[in-house]
Chains A and B, each alone.
Chain A
């Protein structure tokens, strides 16, 4: 089980959190003008890297707030936790 440090509540067990998938996917500004391919890119295409991954978590059993995490998908090591709207620290993923 992961131990995740909520930016507001501190370190907690993974079971307190909901997972929100890849972070920093911006909703298209003008969806009506998108091609089908661009819409598919936004909706479905994912990096799914083996290694550092920027992802969203929500502290469902605590403050119920969303935040971002940088976690390695192979070692499960969490190397950064930062708030929504912030850029990932360092070189990103």
Chain B
């Protein structure tokens, strides 16, 4: 792997940057691998990277049916935070946040992680009480969180409408200063480059069509580019987790929905933090290009179509204008949707399954991007050792029969 640095930049400047090496190979699939990862998004690539780096397992293929990072990795609103309520969530999301903090150095790839803070607004007395409880729970878990009064909110984020006459007045907010944004594509590319350098085969345009089993054990996968033998198959297929699991004969507590986002035309810098409101139902930040990036709720019905209804957009825009009156004349440039896999408790499933050698990392629902490094890290441990790490043990599939659900609907930031 050619190391990126100021010197490599200068060297390549001499020939007008025409001779940068390819960032990763595009190999033909081999006949067999120790581990096959289904899904070349951030989580899948992170899993491959940590398998190679932490566990020395390099006979790994990442199979991606489309292009690398073209699914939900490319479709989210790039928010990173770890302000979750329950201990189990705090542990895995904050592990992730800690990995984010060193990720650009670790991968030698600028993932543009910017800790600009994440603000969660409260609009009524119930919100306020809930917010206080959350802040205390979060701090007890050693994660940073603080309360801001309306005056402090106005100073921190001046374009917010903090008028007491607003339809949904802002009465307070929690702020996680370590939270922020990262560049979504760069995360996929950085992990892909680093995994490839350690010998992982990244195979794009290769859709898995079946999972071969002998008894209760996985023996291989069928793909559009032939059969690949392997004893370990790891599904990291996000919105399509149920579809992949069905190939292994499993039913999951997951339903897939479209979740959309949109961006405005670029404007001058007005918003240097991330603002979320569960009640008004929107989350927004400003990209380095000046576009406001916004997301809201899912469409109610199950769907695998990467599109969403106009009424959902109208609802989102109404929320944005309520919070930020100055955007009312902005044009919206692009709109898209991703397919999110939602569990009944709004927490993911990361672990083993009743099928030997078949592992699942999915159900991240509407908030998987932030978890990319921690998810890959814990999942790699699970695959390498055939047992979960304490970080992801609570997120086992068995919790739906044991009843130990991890209810994080509130931490989704908005109600989904």
Contacts and interface: CB of A to CB of B under 8 A. Distances in A.
Contacts of B8: none
Q: How large is the interface on A (under 10, 10 to 19, 20 to 34, 35 or more residues)?
A: 20 to 34
Interface in A5-62: 13-15, 18-19, 21-22, 36-37, 39-41, 43-50, 53, 55
A43 B253 CA distance: 9
A44 B301 contact: no
Interface residues of B, number: 24
Contacts, number: 72
Contacts of B14: none
B163 to A, nearest CB: 30
A2 B305 CA distance: 13
Given A14-B309, A15-B311, A74-B304, A46 B401 contact: no
A73 B311 CA distance: 18
**Chain A interface helix/strand/loop/mixed:** mixed
Given A14-B311, A19-B301, A74-B305, A48 B401 contact: no
A76 B305 contact: yes
A73 B256 contact: yes
B309 A1 contact: yes
Interface in B328-348: 344
A67 B190 CA distance: 49
Interface in B239-273: 240, 242-243, 246, 251-256
Given A44-B344, A46-B252, A46-B254, A37 B401 contact: yes
A58 B253 CA distance: 23
Interface of B: 240, 242-243, 246, 251-256, 300-305, 309-311, 344, 400-403
